[in-house]
Chain A
Amino acid sequence: MISAILSLTVLGLVLGFGLGFAAKMFAVATDARVAEIEALMPGTNCGQCGYPGCPGAAAAIAAGEATVTICPPGGKALAAALAARLGVAADLSGVSDAGPKIATIAEEICIGCCRCIKECPTDAIVGAAKQIHAVMREACTGCGNCIDRCPTEAVKMQPVPVTLQHWVWPKPQAEAAWA
């Protein structure tokens, strides 16, 4: 009885110290910024950036492998927020916020197969079996995951129409000399 208790205690102590030592010695340094960056990102894991979802992209941005402008759904706002967080100068001129695209469904060729619905990361597509589907414009992030799933090519990416409410004065030209 005593020997059993003793042997298990000793075993526990040895293994515990061993694990503690290994945790300190062979620790893999993680970047605390990754979690913060991930919190800023859209979180839809759409994959438009080419990385495996938002966590992958966040890790790449923190590691400096990716620029802050890689997220198309995030647009300029996200790029600016990331640049401010990381303290880097972002070249926002390359980010095209003027032409974000959203998915649209051609109603005359939609067969109501429900395949695109399952792909949408934000549940922006509504519809049911053998019913025409529709995209809710406000919820679509333009990730394009639904495009390849459509058997009849009814889903197309189209630029968001510019309305009076969304129109922005263009930046004045000239003054290149001093600006």
Chain B
Amino acid sequence: MGLIEKVFSLLEPAHWGVHPADRKRPAADVPVRGLPLPARLYVPLQQHIGAAARPVVLFGQTVLKGQLLAEAQGATSAAVHAPTSGIVSAIGDISAPHPSGLSFPAVTIEADGDDRWADAGIAVDPFGLPPQEVATRVAAAGVVGLGGATFPSALKLGLGLRAKIHTLIINGGECEPYLSCDDRLMRDAPDEIVDGIRIMLHATGATKALVGIEDNKPEAIAAMTAAARDFPAIRIASVPARYPMGSEKHLFSALTGQEVPADGRTTDLGALVHNVGTAWAVHEALRQGRPLVERIVTLNGGAIDMPGNIRVPVGALVADVLAFVGLKTEPARLVMGGPMMGNRLPHARVPVVKGTSGILALTANEAAQLDPGPCIRCSSCVRACPVGLLPLEMSARIGIDDLNGAVAFGLKDCIACGCCSFVCPSRIPLVHYFNHAKGELAAQGRAQLRNESAKRLAAARIERLARDTQEKAAAAARRKAERAAQKAAEKAAAGTTAAGAAAEAAQQASKEVVA
């Protein structure tokens, strides 16, 4: 930071982010209810960043709750387990909880209603295990980041060992409006979360953990503080409620006062960020030997009759969960995740996945989508942008397909939080522009790679053809030489036989003469 910026930052406090109405209550204050077991569960093979898991069960096979359905394949992947006991009735494509409405592969389980657990491994003291073994067990339990990004947690823990992590940041920010699943988890299971944090400290070799919780969740802060009282390595910190406080770089800055560089990660500064839900899942995996097969999902929105947090098995349909909480009116829009960054659902027959933090059934009034107007260059988006970009300039360039121009304005640093779209008085869908541009750039990158590989293949083919012709010519020359040698040998043989015949004839003649 230059001197001038420093002076300005002293004069004016940081003004990133926005303050949307949080609308978390009353849903956050209702005790967690369990979803009655649906008749069928659709367990997707791709519930994480990276490669889809590879199924290891067969059609018609009987599976127990917690049994491995699909194993991780490739470097970045996560295992998938059966969320209940039953029979595998299909392995095939189903609709994905994704705005495109495309399909993806899933294992369908016909529940037998017993919900019988497979034998868990013998419980061991996780602190007696070597750190690498803890990460292996977390991977075997299919734990992924439950904050929404669904990055396989074991990889992050393994990274801690390599990257010299000294601080573990636990993200209890939950800055998205409407959502309260992390809040509820911290109120109901603070001891389990603290135990999970201690296991993660052991796995990463970090010496201290900072739990950041927004100050609009006083009950969660009180519960967590009480649970962590005996562990000086774990500090519970209240952070101001402001969106997007749950972004890992922003929570890190709020807790430590350090800023993460644009092209860097928090691990570069020795800190690893995990969600509170992930800490709970790590506790379950290590202490109970239970894989990640269910989670708490916030059901909220104006169209829902009894909003609240529901414990849902992975693979239950959104329609099942909505039927359980009841609908007051037909929702104008269904969203998976929060209202700022969540995905609009094509319909309700899509499964709940590991990364589903909430399901929102919004009324027409809440989901009001008004026609965009022209940009009036008020710069509201510039003040709101938490990464310090110029959304108005970037969207203008993307509007005329000048993607490189947008990249020059820092498109790659955009975290797609939606603050700019939220504050825009002209209701321009700014973040939609950025998502479109990022997708286009990724597609162009893939095309570039494809082009390069095609060029390599074509060159390899030309080389192979040349080698073929050369080898053919060499073989032809060899055959020719062989034939020539054979002919010469034949000729020589013929010569000797001819000479012999002549001698015989001469002998014959002499005999005749004698006779």
Chain A residues proximal to chain B, CB less than 8 Å: 42-45, 73-78, 80-81, 84, 92-93, 97, 120-124, 138-139, 141, 162-164, 166-172, 174-175, 177-179
Contact B444 A42 (CB under 8 A): no
A106–B444 Cα distance when bound, in Å, is 30
Report if A123-B396 is in contact (Cβ < 8 Å); known contacts: A80-B444, A169-B439, A177-B374.
Answer: no
30 of the cross-chain contacts (CB-CB < 8 Å) are A42-B455, A42-B458, A44-B454, A45-B458, A73-B454, A77-B447, A77-B451, A78-B447, A78-B451, A80-B444, A121-B458, A122-B454, A122-B457, A122-B458, A139-B454, A141-B450, A162-B100, A164-B46, A164-B98, A164-B102, A164-B104, A167-B439, A168-B436, A168-B443, A172-B429, A172-B433, A175-B399, A175-B428, A178-B374, A179-B399
Q: Which 9 A-B pairs have the closest CB atoms?
A: A168-B439, A179-B399, A122-B457, A77-B447, A178-B374, A77-B444, A169-B436, A44-B458, A43-B455
For the complex, is B12 an interface residue (Cβ under 8 Å from A)?
no
B367-378 interface mask toward A, CB cutoff 8 Å, 1 = contact, 0 = none? 000011011000
Q: How far, in Å, is A43 (CB) from chain B's closest CB?
A: 4
| Chain B min CB distance to A173 (Å) | 9
In angstroms, Cα B448 to Cα A124, docked, is 18
Given contacts A43-B459, A44-B457, A172-B436, 16 further A-B contacts (CB under 8 A): A42-B455, A42-B458, A73-B451, A75-B444, A75-B447, A77-B447, A97-B443, A163-B104, A164-B46, A164-B104, A168-B443, A169-B99, A169-B435, A174-B371, A179-B399, A179-B400
Please tell me which one of the listed residues B100, B372, B455 contacts residue A44 in the complex, with CB atoms under 8 A apart: B455
What is the minimal beta-carbon distance from A33 to any residue of chain B, in angstroms?
Answer: 18
B33, CB-defined interface residue at 8 Å: no
The answer to whether B440 touches A168, judged by C-beta atoms less than 8 angstroms apart, is yes
Chain B residues contacting A174 (CB-CB under 8 Å) are: 371-372
Option from A43, A84, A92, A179 in Cβ contact (under 8 Å) with B454 = A43
In the complex, B492 has a CB within 8 A of chain A:
no
| A81 to B403 CA separation, bound complex (whole angstroms) | 12
Rounded to whole angstroms, the CA-CA distance of A124 and B444 in the bound complex is 22
Q: When chains A and B are docked, how far (Å) is the Cα of A92 from the Cα of B404?
A: 13
Give min CB distance, B376 to chain A, whole Å: 10
In contact, B457 and A76 (Cβ under 8 angstroms): no
Interface size on B, residues (CB 8 A): 43
- Which residue from chain B places its CB closest to the CB of A73 in the assembled complex? B454
B451 touches A42 (CB 8 A): yes
Which one of B102, B429, B444, B454 lies within 8 Å of A141 (CB-CB)? B454
Chain A hits for B440, CB < 8 A: 76, 168
The answer to whether B444 touches A121, judged by C-beta atoms less than 8 angstroms apart, is no
Question: Is B461 an interface residue when CB atoms closer than 8 A count as contact?
Answer: yes
Among B221-247, those with CB < 8 Å from A are none
Question: A122 touching B461 by the CB < 8 A rule?
Answer: yes
Kindly list chain B residues whose C-beta atoms are within 8 Å of the C-beta of A164. Answer: 46, 96, 98, 100, 102, 104
Question: A162: which B residues are within 8 A, CB to CB?
Answer: 100, 102
Q: Which residue of A lies closest to B452 (CB)?
A: A42
Task: Give Cα A135–Cα B468 distance, bound, in whole angstroms.
Answer: 22
Instruction: A121 to B451: give the CA distance in the assembly, Å.
Output: 13
For the complex, is B483 an interface residue (Cβ under 8 Å from A)?
A: no
Complex Cα spacing A141 to B447, Å: 10
Question: How many interface contacts (CB-CB < 8 Å) are there between A and B?
Answer: 109
B266 CB to closest chain A CB, in angstroms? 26
CA distance A138 to B449 in the complex (A): 11
What is the distance, in angstroms, from A84's C-beta to the closest C-beta of chain B? 8
Contact B371 A92 (CB under 8 A): no
> Which A residues are in CB contact (< 8 Å) with B371?
174
- Chain B, residues 386-423, CB within 8 Å of chain A (1/0): the string is 00000000001011110010000000000000000000
Residue of B nearest to A140 (CB): B454
Q: Are the C-beta atoms of A97 and B447 separated by less than 8 Å?
A: yes
CB-defined contacts of B96 to chain A, threshold 8 Å = 164
CB distance B453 to A139 under 8 Å? yes
Which residues of chain A have C-beta atoms less than 8 A from B459's C-beta? 43
Measured between beta carbons, the chain A residues less than 8 angstroms from B451 are 42, 73-75, 77-78
Is B265's beta carbon under 8 Å from chain A?
no
B432 at the interface (CB under 8 A from A): yes
The interface residues of chain A lying within 8 Å CB-to-CB of B401 are 92-93
Measured between beta carbons, the chain B residues less than 8 angstroms from A172 are: 372, 429, 432-433, 436
Give Cα A80–Cα B440 distance, bound, in whole angstroms: 12
List, in ascending order, chain B residues with CB within 8 A of A81's CB. 448
Query: B476 at the A/B interface (Cβ < 8 Å)?
Result: no
**What's the Cα separation between A164 and B51 when bound, in Å?**
12
The distance from the CB of A7 to the nearest CB of chain B, in whole angstroms, is: 42
Contact of A169 among B432, B460, B461 (CB under 8 A): B432
How far, in Å, is A32 (CB) from chain B's closest CB? 21
Question: How does the 8 Å CB contact mask read for B101-140 relative to A, with 1 for contact and 0 for none?
Answer: 0101000000000000000000000000000000000000
Docked pose: A120 CA to B464 CA in angstroms: 13
Cross-chain contact A175 with B443 (CB below 8 angstroms): no
Given the interface contacts A42-B454, A44-B454, does A166 sit within 8 Å of B400 by beta carbon? no
Once the chains are docked, how many angstroms separate the CA of A143 from the CA of B46? 32
**A76: which B residues are within 8 A, CB to CB?**
440, 443-444, 447
**Distance A73 CA – B450 CA, assembled complex (angstroms):** 9
**Nearest B residue to A89, CB-CB:** B402
Question: Known contacts being A122-B457, A163-B102, A164-B104, is A77 close to B448, with CB within 8 Å?
Answer: yes
- Chain B residues with Cβ under 8 A from A169's Cβ? 99, 432, 435-436, 439
Contact partner of B372 among A78, A97, A175, CB < 8 A? Answer: A175
Residue numbers in B under 8 Å from A77 (CB-CB): 444-445, 447-448, 451
What's the Cα separation between A170 and B375 when bound, in Å?
Answer: 20
Q: How far is the CA of A43 from the CA of B452 in the complex (A)?
A: 9
Smallest CB separation, B369 vs chain A (Å): 11
User: How close is A123's CB to chain B, nearest CB, in angstroms?
Assistant: 5
> Shortest Cβ distance from B147 into chain A, in angstroms?
20
A163 CA / B435 CA spacing, docked (Å): 17
Give the distance to chain A from B320, nearest Cβ to Cβ, in Å: 23
Q: A97-B443, A164-B46, A172-B432 are in contact. Are A123 and B457 (CB under 8 A)?
A: yes
Q: Name the interface residues of B437-490: CB closer than 8 Å to any CB of A.
A: 439-440, 442-448, 450-451, 453-455, 457-461, 464
Distance in angstroms between the alpha carbons of A61 and B95 in the assembled complex: 45
Question: Nearest CB to that of B455 among chain A residues?
Answer: A43
